[in-house]
């Protein structure tokens, strides 16, 4: 089997690698070589583990599950077992990437009972003062033990990391003068922290669908298959999520004064 170097691959490129090595996975299944099968899945599509970790960390933060009760590894092992036993169900090799994410979602939904709406945050998102936004960011930074604990389970330095960016939020007017000023004065790290904080306060489906679109680069059609909802619902979630993030930036960083 060839060595796989995906260091410089885009997410869509990784999806293509998954399809390319589909026949190899089928062969390993036929040979009952589960160890090699799991290793290949992890190599060609590592992000499914990060997706699971992110979903669990969000649930810990929001109180849907107790801290320390579940480990990412437990869900990953269950997912790989399911993939090994049921990979023959996949008729089109191009379906492998979002089939794995779909199965990951199903495993998580058996454990996590998520609230559809965080009504207080959504109702007040346009009313929060600049001071309140700063306090929320401080509270979020302090209350990050759950996420750190979960993500510390990944000790592979090659594991992909993602930064949330304005370009994925303000997709309709990326050249706006105020947006350029935000990019200039805040810097990538501060923008990432703010978007990450807001996403953790939004309803869980909004964050997970946004992550699938922005970090994993799945299309709305693919996300609809992963989530078992219509394409229109996926697009509605993405529109509302971007709207809430834009509103939060405009509340925390008014156009007349970008400094936090």
- Percent of the chain exceeding pLDDT 70 equals 76
Cβ atoms 185, 256 nearer than 8 A? no
Per-residue model confidence as pLDDT tens digits over 20-53? 788 899 999 999 999 999 999 888 777 888 888 8
Residue 96: pLDDT band by 50, 70, 90 thresholds? confident
Which of 8-22, 23-37, 198-212 is most confident?
A: 23-37
Per-residue model confidence as pLDDT tens digits over 150-189? 445 444 444 446 678 888 888 776 557 777 888 788 877 8
Q: What is the pTM (predicted TM-score) of this model? A: 0.74
C-alpha torsion angle, residues 34, 38, 41, 42 (rounded to 10): -170
Residue 97: burial class (beta carbons within 10 Å; 0-12, 13-18, 19+): buried
Per-residue model confidence as pLDDT tens digits over 101-139? 999 999 888 887 654 445 566 667 777 777 777 777 776
Q: Tell me: pLDDT of 95 over 70.
A: yes
Report the chain's C-alpha Rg in angstroms: 19
Assigned token pair, 73:
């590894």
């Amino acid at each position: 089997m060839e060595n796989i170097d995906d260091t410089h691959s885009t997410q869509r490129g990784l999806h293509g690698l998954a399809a390319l090595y589909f026949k190899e996975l089928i062969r390993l299944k036929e040979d009952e070589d589960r160890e090699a099968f799991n290793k290949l899945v992890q190599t060609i599509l590592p992000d499914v583990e990060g997706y699971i970790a992110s979903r669990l960390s969000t649930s810990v933060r929001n109180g849907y599950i107790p801290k320390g009760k579940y480990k990412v590894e437990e869900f990953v092992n269950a997912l790989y077992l399911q993939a090994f036993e049921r990979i023959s169900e996949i008729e089109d090799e191009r379906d492998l990437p979002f089939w794995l994410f779909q199965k990951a979602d199903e495993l998580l939904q058996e454990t996590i009972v998520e609230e559809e709406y965080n009504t207080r945050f959504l109702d007040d998102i346009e009313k929060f003062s600049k001071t309140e936004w700063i306090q929320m960011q401080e509270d979020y930074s302090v209350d990050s033990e759950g996420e750190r604990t979960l993500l510390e389970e990944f000790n592979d330095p090659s594991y992909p990391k993602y930064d949330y960016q304005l370009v994925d939020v303000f997709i309709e007017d990326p050249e706006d003068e105020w947006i350029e000023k935000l990019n200039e004065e805040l810097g990538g790290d501060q923008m990432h922290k703010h978007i990450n904080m807001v996403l953790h306060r939004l309803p869980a489906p909004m964050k997970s669908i946004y992550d699938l679109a922005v970090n994993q680069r799945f299309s709305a059609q693919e996300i609809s298959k992963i989530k078992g909802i219509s394409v229109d619902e996926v697009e509605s979630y993405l529109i509302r999520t971007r709207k809430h993030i834009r509103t939060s930036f405009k509340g925390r960083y008014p156009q007349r004064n970008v400094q936090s």
